[in-house]
Chains A and B, each alone.
Chain A
Amino acid sequence: MVAQLFANGLATGSLYALSALGFGLIYNTTRVFHIAYGAVYTIAAYLLFALLSRYGIPLGIAFLIALILTILLGILIDIYIYQPLLCQGSSFLIVMISSLSIYIITVNIIVLIFGNEIKVLRSGIAKTFTLGQVILSDIQILQIAALAFIFFTLVFFLKWTNLGKIIRAMRDNPDLLSLMGIDLQKIRWLVFGLGSLLAGLAAMLQALDVGIDPHIGMSAVLTAAVAVIIGGVGIFEAPAFGGLLLGVLQSMVIWKASGRWQEAITFALLIFFLLFKPEGIFGQRRRLEEK
């Protein structure tokens, strides 16, 4: 029972970790608190749903089309919403509120088009695999595998490629980077594109696993933000551990109390970390003046 709950937590945690890696990538480099990330997440899931059920496109192709559109959407949000605000020198709060507005507008448009009810993308019983005491469905295994693949690719990309180095440099000092003759604009597109790709991936895996409703984006983006803070702001790999920790903890809550406290535990953990370890699990304690 405990092992099963742990495994389930690991599978959901992988989804959290995927979307948290994307959110963290955007947050650490651009410092935009991207609540519209939730909008991107919801749209990705509904794109897949529409392509599958309304146009009857095979899963693999629908997945690719939805992913490409999601990436474009993320970049467009940066170009048309965040860039003009930053050019005016708007404060982070104004950027955050605008992002929230985008989220609210998107969710309501989706409700108007698709309705408020839960949509299930796969009917029938999922294939399951038994590993010792633990039973996992095929999609749960895919979730864990996807996280493992993405995590190592991302680490490799950030550590060993030139673009990865530029992204890390942008986190440390964007002004200096543009002095080196690097077009920050293009790097932002890359970051928003990559982040949205991860959001789309997580959203579509969630859609195939448990189904979707128009409001999944908000809890996805909030969980991602919490995972980023728990892992440690400024460290690109850390959100994955934050996400896994949240997934496992939420699953263990079912064992000790009840499933109704799952969301509350996320925020209880957030407040605990903000108060006692604001630099996160992997972060270095910094002095106030350095922030």
Chain B
Amino acid sequence: MSYILHLLILLSIYSVLSLSLNLLVGYTGLFSLAHAAFYGIGAYITTLLMVKASWGFFPALVVAILGAILLSLIVAIPSLRLRGDYFVLATLGFQTIIFYILYNWVGLTNGPYGIPGIPRPKFLGFEINSIFAYSVFSIFLSGICLLLLWRICMSPFGRTLKAIRDDEIAASALGKNIYRFKALAFALSGAFASVSGALFASYMRYIDPTSFTLMETVFILSAVLIGGAGNIKGPIIGTMFVILLPEVLRFLQIPDTIAPNVRQILYGLLILILMRLRPQGLGGEYKLQ
């Protein structure tokens, strides 16, 4: 039972991650490779404020969101001047640099040793200790994020993003400030990723920088690509797929030592086939331009 709850928590964390990345990749057409950096910044700011300054979870979360917004603007403002593969490379560069800052700034982040003993959040005066309570909390918080993301995607703002994705010149001819919309999309996407980071940190009670590498970005991205970008249901399908596939492999009796590699090979093959035959993914609607 607690195992199923664990999966539910992971699903709730990763569906916010993949939907927030989808806001960039699927809605705005910005193929960013820096998502794990925002996720990591959210996790680290929350953790540091809770462990070193003994703040509560919610004030720490607010600061984490603000921090992630600031960081995403730092990434977005220069990167958005570039297009095509230069843009992808620039975001990848930021991802790597942020990882190395988390990894090498031992005085603040404890570097590769990570930070243990992260307290569980308190909500309305009572501490969320059991895994059942945490799963309810996590689903509740992620649910709010998903609802907000859904509202954003359906709003005129979301439609403008889609218009920019499909035809930038037409959108700017209609008086939309392309640059500002893209930067806003970046900020929103980073903000939601940081909420996932805060949830992840307080759930695991231990974080270290290796959870926020380029490969983590690729993992979140594979959820978006397998499920499909450009609508709400695509990334959700993808998240379920990438989180639940390991469990299917467990039933097939694949030994634990090679399971992670078999899993990655399967993701890779699936993406390769999808890109060839169905670039919009299993349930998406945007064929990456």
- In the assembled complex, the CB of A160 is this many whole angstroms from the nearest CB of chain B, namely 31
User: Given that A90-B279, A111-B261 are contacting pairs, would A96 and B94 also be in contact in the complex, using a CB cutoff of 8 Å?
Assistant: no
A187 to B93, CA, bound (A): 32
The interface residues of chain A lying within 8 Å CB-to-CB of B82 are 274, 278
Using Cβ atoms and an 8 Å threshold, which residues of chain A touch B218? 100, 104
Which B residues from 233 to 289 make CB contacts under 8 A with A? 258, 261-262, 264-265, 267-269, 271-272, 275-276, 279, 287-289
CB distance from A262 to the nearest CB of B (A): 9
A interface: dominant SS: helix
Any B CB within 8 A of the CB of A137: no
CB pair A98–B86 under 8 Å, yes or no, is: no
User: Which A-chain residue is minimally distant from B288 (CB atoms)?
Assistant: A93
Contacts between chains A and B (CB distance < 8 A), count: 107
B84 at the interface (CB under 8 A from A): yes
Q: In the bound complex, do residue A98 and residue B100 qualify as a contact, i.e. CB atoms below 8 Å apart?
A: no
Please name the residue on chain A nearest to B33 by beta carbon.
Answer: A100
Residues of B close to A150: CB separation below 8 A: none
Select one of B31, B104, B262 contacting A261, CB under 8 A: B104
Across the interface, A263 reaches (CB within 8 A) one of B86, B96, B225, B275, namely B96
- Cβ of A134 within 8 Å of any chain B Cβ, yes or no, is no
Q: Are B90 and A271 in contact (CB under 8 A)?
A: yes
In the bound complex, do residue B261 and residue A97 qualify as a contact, i.e. CB atoms below 8 Å apart? no
| Residue A101, interface by CB 8 Å | yes
Q: Is B55 an interface residue (CB 8 A)?
A: no
Contacts of B269 in A (CB 8 A): 101, 105
Q: Which of A85-120 contact B (CB under 8 A)?
A: 85, 88, 90-94, 96-98, 100-102, 104-105, 108-109, 111-112
| Count class of interface residues, chain B | 35 or more
- Chain B proximity of A178: nearest CB distance (Å): 23
Chain A hits for B92, CB < 8 A: 222, 267
Residues of chain A lying within 8 A (CB to CB) of residue B271: 97-98, 101
Shortest CB distance B32–A (Å): 12
Q: How far is the CB of B131 from chain A (nearest CB, A)?
A: 31
Cβ proximity bits B88-120 to A, threshold 8 Å, 1 near / 0 not: 111011101100110110000000000000000
The verdict on B52 contacting chain A, using a C-beta distance below 8 Å, is no
Contact with B along A157-168 (1 / 0, CB 8 A): 000000000000
Q: Which residues of A contact B78 (CB under 8 A)?
A: 271, 274-275
A201 part of interface (Cβ distance < 8 Å): no
Task: Pick from A88, A92, A266: contact of B84, CB below 8 A.
Answer: A92
Question: Could you tell me the distance between the alpha carbons of A92 and B87 in the complex, rounded to whole angstroms?
Answer: 13
Interface residues on A, range: 35 or more
From residue 98 to 150 of chain B, which have CB atoms closer than 8 A to chain A?
100-101, 103-104
User: Please, which residues of chain A bring their CB within 8 A of the CB of B287?
Assistant: 91
Judge whether A264 is part of the interface by a CB distance below 8 angstroms.
Answer: yes
How many Å lie between the Cα of A245 and that of B89 in the bound state? 19
Q: What is the bound-complex CA distance between A278 and B85, given in angstroms?
A: 12
Partner of B100, one of A111, A263, A270: A263
Q: In the complex the two chains form, is A264's CB within 8 Å of B272's CB?
A: no
- Enumerate A260-287 residues with CB–CB distance to B below 8 Å: 260-261, 263-264, 266-268, 270-271, 274-275, 278
Across-interface contacts of B258 in A (CB, < 8 A): 112
Do the beta carbons of A105 and B268 come within 8 Å of each other? yes
Within A66-96, the residues touching B (CB, 8 Å) are 81, 84-85, 88, 90-94, 96
A275 to B218 CA separation, bound complex (whole angstroms): 25
B96 engages A267 (CB within 8 Å): yes
Decide: B265 and A264 in contact? CB cutoff 8 A.
no
16 sampled A-B residue pairs with Cβ under 8 A = A33-B88, A85-B275, A90-B279, A97-B225, A97-B288, A98-B276, A105-B268, A260-B100, A260-B103, A261-B100, A264-B100, A270-B89, A271-B93, A271-B97, A274-B78, A275-B81
Give me 20 other A-B pairs in contact (C-beta within 8 A), A91-B288, A94-B275, A267-B93 excluded.
Answer: A33-B88, A92-B84, A93-B31, A93-B88, A93-B288, A93-B289, A96-B85, A101-B271, A104-B265, A105-B265, A112-B261, A258-B104, A263-B96, A264-B96, A267-B92, A271-B94, A271-B97, A274-B82, A274-B86, A278-B82
